[in-house]
Chains A and B, each alone.
Chain A
Amino acid sequence: GAGVSQTPSNKVTEKGKYVELRCDPISGHTALYWYRQSLGQGPEFLIYFQGTGAADDSGLPNDRFFAVRPEGSVSTLKIQRTERGDSAVYLCASSRGAAGGRETQYFGPGTRLLVL
């Protein structure tokens, strides 16, 4: 595809349930990022992948959050035992990955998660 795609676009779940959010980066981009945007805030960094490995997961809020990118392309963000405070827009971005943060990060439209 031409851009970063994310599925689902909206997800409503109940407190305590498990959710998976998917990100399809731009073809050929080796760097992939997850951010979370809460209401009234800017996006906040969660995790960064270079290829298949998580180069930095320091932004994940706690061990209920986990992300994988097994083949170096599609990534899945997994949230266990969801809480109401997890409600936010989860944004995925990708970049070519060769030159670190100076490369433009291209964002997907996000997944809007609502935990009831």
Chain B
Amino acid sequence: DQQVKQNSPSLSVQEGRISILNCDYTNSMFDYFLWYKKYPAEGPTFLISISSIKDKNEDGRFTVFLNKSAKHLSLHIVPSQPGDSAVYFCAAIGNSGAGSYQLTFGKGTKLSVIP
């Protein structure tokens, strides 16, 4: 069973517009969430994170929103640039024990930003 779900395998957005990537989770023990970005033939690169005590975290063009009651988070990229084209993974970490350092990843969403 997939504890972190990214239901959109791909997304195409025009350059300059907003990209919204969505992620849902089922495990209520998750309390820290991350987004990683991956280019082909490279490892995932950390992008932005959010703790469950917050509902928003912003870093430049990237903002992550967390709706804890809905077990849903989203990544907004504004404005989108062609260099943002990559696979984006949502990941979560639990609040205790073994789950507190294992990253649990979704399947990823491939973002294509069209010039």
Contacts of B100 in A (CB 8 A): 100-101
Q: Is the CB of A48 within 8 A of B101?
A: yes
**Selected interface stretch from A13-21, A60-68, A77-85, A105-113:** A105-113
Contact of A26 with B by CB under 8 A: no
**Selected interface stretch from B12-20, B41-49, B54-62, B70-78:** B41-49
Q: Is the CB of B103 within 8 A of A105?
A: yes
Q: Is the CB of B102 within 8 A of A101?
A: yes
A56, B97: Cα distance in complex, Å: 10
Contact of B113 with A by CB under 8 A: no
A107, B105: Cα distance in complex, Å: 14
Q: How does the 8 Å CB contact mask read for B1-40 relative to A, with 1 for contact and 0 for none?
A: 0001000000000000000000000000000100010000
Q: Is the CB of B46 within 8 A of A43?
A: no
Q: Is the CB of B101 within 8 A of A43?
A: no
Q: Is the CB of B107 within 8 A of A40?
A: yes
- Size class of B's contact patch? 20 to 34
**Nearest chain B residue, comparing its CB with the CB of A108:** B43
Q: Is the CB of A42 within 8 A of B107?
A: yes
Q: Is the CB of B4 within 8 A of A101?
A: no
A44, B32: Cα distance in complex, Å: 17
Q: Which of B32, B98, B105 contacts A43 (CB 8 A)?
A: B105
Q: A93-B43, A109-B42 are in contact. Are A102 and B32 (CB under 8 A)?
A: yes
Pick 16 A–B contacts, CB within 8 A, sort by A: A33-B102, A42-B91, A42-B105, A42-B107, A42-B108, A48-B101, A56-B98, A56-B102, A101-B100, A101-B101, A101-B102, A101-B103, A102-B93, A107-B45, A108-B43, A110-B43
16 more CB-based (< 8 A) A-B contacts, given A43-B105, A101-B94, A107-B43 = A33-B102, A35-B103, A41-B107, A42-B91, A42-B105, A42-B106, A48-B101, A56-B102, A100-B101, A101-B32, A101-B103, A105-B46, A106-B46, A107-B44, A109-B42, A110-B43
